[in-house]
Amino acid sequence: MGEPLNPTADLRYAASVPPVPAEAPAPSGALRDLRGRPLRDLRISVTDRCNFRCTYCMPKELFGANYRFLPQSSLLSFEEITRTARLFVAHGVHKLRLTGGEPLLRKNVEHLIAMLAALRTPEGQTPDITLTTNGSLLARKAPALKDAGLQRVTVSLDSLDDAVFRGMNDVDFPVADVLQGIRVAQQVGLAPIKVNMVVKKGTNEHEIVPLARHVRDAFGPGVVLRFIEYMDVGASNGWRMDEVLPSAEVVERIDRVFPLRPLEPNAPGETAQRWAYRDGGGEVGVISSVTRAFCGACNRARLSTEGKLFLCLFAHQGHDLRALLRGRHEGRAYTDEEIAAAIGLIWSRRDDRYSELRARQAREAGPAAPRIEMHYIGG
């Protein structure tokens, strides 16, 4: 027998079935939540499995060999994912990001990408289709992903030092293989490539400048390095505020070696603050999810691997779209129009702003509500 699900994992099954409005108006593409934020970005987790055991996401002591991941029958099929994505695109979503776990572990994921690439926005355009990966399988999969219609890729890389990298992924995976994956992705035209480094004070902050130097020298302006503050996602990583290195300090460290100038955001709701090297050597970004909340412009929703919709990375409750997709609510199948209406109702009632309220919640007495783990709904 496997280990019992831990309390945070049990949240996989704790979600309410969303109400279906009596009237189902056609999506207008202009959906807004209670804070006036549009719906533009859908992050789709295609698996809860990962071949890494990063200490800040899936620590080995909790996600060991006997941990029970979701059975295949629980996962949304590629057809169900594509149907759901089509409804979100009708509501105004322009970017579809595949995440995990490690999305390249999902068998034939390139087939899903091809299905998503056939979707069209109300303006007749192909949605921006991207994927976030730990890079372990990227060298082998990049050509097929590109041929299927994937446009861009984001690679997690927390250290250039092989010993530190192996220690952080906790499965002794070499950094050289991830770097080769980035090179192959660049060669096949998955661009621009983004490389994300989660900075954890006391673990890898000494790698900030060496990694910036390596990305500049080895890959050039076509690869954008971004530094992410260590976040309090879920409850498995033992997060502490004293392990957070503020992004402002990251920028200062790089600027001392490679002078920077600020850039404007690429698009509304962009999470990263952008900085260009003054010598034209490309750019870096910082995502200050702890010290500089960006809830006010958040336009992202997240779909878990078995069809739960979450409206915030720090959510503790989801909405069970799978029950509607599979006709397991009230004993009947639901039409696209009805499910689209249910999605519209969920977003129109959204008021999530966890990061803005973090400091206040930390001062309040009583236990915090449990939150979904990052490997389950993606970063």
In-domain check, residue 368? yes
In-domain check, residue 239? yes
pLDDT of residue 171: 95
Residue 40 clears pLDDT 60, i.e. is over it = yes
In-domain check, residue 3? no
pLDDT of residue 239: 59
Q: What is the pLDDT of residues 77-101, one digit of tens each?
A: 999 999 999 999 999 999 999 999 9
Q: How far is CA 251 from the centre of its chain?
A: 23
Output 97 or 200, whichever has higher pLDDT: 97
Residue 3 clears pLDDT 50, i.e. is over it = no
In-domain check, residue 207? yes
- Rounded distance, CA 197 to CA 174, Å? 16
In-domain check, residue 127? yes
- Rounded distance, CA 242 to CA 237, Å? 14
In-domain check, residue 212? yes
Q: What is the mean pLDDT of residues 306-328?
A: 88
Evaluate whether 193 touches 154 at the Cβ level (below 8 Å): yes
In-domain check, residue 2? no
Q: What is the pLDDT of residues 106-124, one digit of tens each?
A: 999 999 999 999 999 999 9
- Rounded distance, CA 206 to CA 52, Å? 22
The rounded mean pLDDT for the chain is 88
CATH code of the domain containing 280: 3.20.20.70
Lowest mean pLDDT among 150-159, 239-248, 300-309, 351-360: 351-360
pLDDT of residue 372: 63
pLDDT of residue 7: 43
The total domain count for the chain is 1
pTM of the predicted model as reported, rounded to 2 decimal places: 0.90
Sorted by sequence, the CB contacts under 8 Å of residue 127 that are 6+ apart come out as 85, 89, 93, 94, 95, 96, 116, 119, 120, 121
Pairing of strands 15-16, 128-133: unpaired
Q: Which domain holds residue 321?
A: 9-377
In-domain check, residue 138? yes
pLDDT tier at 297, thresholds 50, 70, 90: confident
